[in-house]
Chains A and B, each alone.
Chain A
Amino acid sequence: MRGKGLITAVIILTFAALMTYAVVSLQVFGESTGVRPLGEFYLKNSYFGDYSARSPEVVTSILWDYRGIDTLFETAVFFLAIIGSLTVFRLTREQEKEVKNVESAPTELTPIVKDVTKVIVVMILAVSASIALHGHLTPGGGFQGGSALAVAPLLIIAAYSKYTLEGHGMDKTRALILRSIGLLGIALVALVPLLSDGFIMQNQPIFPAEIGGQLIGGSLIYYNFFEFLAVGAGFTAVFLLLSIPEEKFKKILGVKK
């Protein structure tokens, strides 16, 4: 064991020394502070100029403007995963009712956890909305905001129960409807430019970069909002399915004890 640790330490130290040497002596990162030609092209076409989203978060505008189709298919992979898990858990109408039915009072966590969850859930909703709606200004965006949003129902499921969430109106069907609205929104925003002689998923100058003096980055804010909705609701649906008690599934599948 001791020899193994020694070898690991030697490898780490050698690597660190080589990296330091490369950075300090060989100047692999270069000393020039100027913008390289490719960077200049991207900046000119995404931040400056008339045919740009004028979004200071250049990465977002490149993701949705220059490689929009690529991003669309990346998103599609996630939604295929959600569809896959929904298919694994597919139930008939009676079974759905059975799964929603509360037999005995579900065990909840202590009052300390429940009260903190109440406060934290509100804060998470605000923070996730801020991450998504500032997606064209700061790092973040629809997917990240939606993932943060999905933490809120997860916390409610952990501290209270799945039935509390369903009792307050957030059941699987509602989550799927919200997710579909999000997907439909993304598709519509992508198709709108075709109506005014643009290309599919084109941003400028079809969508205005500013509304009422506020920078909204053209189509970026719509994409971010709908992606936020779709990802958050999709995750919520999967979490609701995963939190179905094991006994109920054993009953549905007819597993003998």
Chain B
Amino acid sequence: MSVLFYIGALLIVIGALCDFFGALGLLRFPNFYVRLHAATVGIIGGAAVPLFGVALLALGADFLPNRYAIAGASFITGVIVLLASPAGSHALAYAAHRAKLVEWEPKVDHLGEVRESD
């Protein structure tokens, strides 16, 4: 098995771990914004990274029929997820902030401090 196989497998394992921690964070984190962060960890780490892993794995597997098609499709899907997920979570956070739906209790608010001193 080639180096590509090991790198791809490693990326998939990282993806599984990210999914696990993302799910854990989604259940245990205290408010909407940090939970959104955990969900994004689950998307980027748990969906985009393993998709790139699958692409490398397919490229490294000589016995696989149509391996370039599989690698290409996984890569494109990974890029789409990589682009769409930050924009989506940004839109969610922006909407929640604009609509003032989430109670805002910052522990540290550097932006507010700067604004006050201006």
Interface residues of A (CB under 8 A from B): 109-110, 112-113, 116-117, 119-120, 123-124, 127, 138, 159
In the complex the two chains form, is B83's CB within 8 Å of A120's CB?
yes
| Range, interface on chain B | 10 to 19
Chosen A-B contacts, 11 in total, with CB atoms closer than 8 Å, are A109-B91, A110-B91, A110-B94, A112-B86, A113-B91, A116-B83, A116-B84, A123-B76, A123-B83, A124-B80, A127-B76
Q: Is the beta-carbon distance between B90 and A110 smaller than 8 angstroms?
A: yes
Question: Which residues of B line the A interface, CB within 8 A?
Answer: 69, 76, 79-80, 83-84, 86-87, 90-91, 94
Contacts of A112 in B (CB 8 A): 86-87, 90
CB of A140 to closest CB in B, whole Å: 11
- Measured CA separation A116–B83 after assembly (Å): 7
Contact A113 B83 (CB under 8 A): no
Q: Of B76, B80, B84, B94, which is within 8 A of A109 by CB?
A: B94
- Contact among A117, A124, A127, A138 with B87 in the assembled complex (CB-CB below 8 Å): A117
Query: In whole angstroms, what is the CA distance A159 to B91 when docked?
Result: 9
In Å, the complex CA distance between A123 and B83 comes to 11
Are B91 and A120 in contact, CB atoms less than 8 angstroms apart?
no
Instruction: Give the complex CA separation of A119 and B86 in angstroms.
Output: 13
Residue in A116, A117, A124 whose Cβ sees the most chain B Cβ within 10 Å: A116
Closest to B66 in A: A138
Closest chain B residue, CB of each to CB of A138: B69
Across the A-B interface, the 7 shortest Cβ-Cβ residue pairs: A116-B87, A113-B91, A113-B87, A112-B90, A116-B83, A120-B84, A123-B80
Q: How far is the CA of A146 from the CA of B91 in the complex (A)?
A: 26
Min Cβ gap A96→B in Å is: 30
Q: Which residues of A contact B94 (CB under 8 A)?
A: 109-110, 113
Which chain B residues border A123 with CB–CB below 8 Å? 76, 79-80, 83
- 20 other A-B residue contacts (CB within 8 Å) besides A113-B87, A116-B84, A120-B83: A109-B91, A109-B94, A110-B90, A110-B91, A110-B94, A112-B90, A113-B90, A116-B83, A116-B86, A117-B87, A119-B83, A120-B87, A123-B76, A123-B79, A123-B80, A123-B83, A127-B76, A127-B80, A138-B69, A159-B91
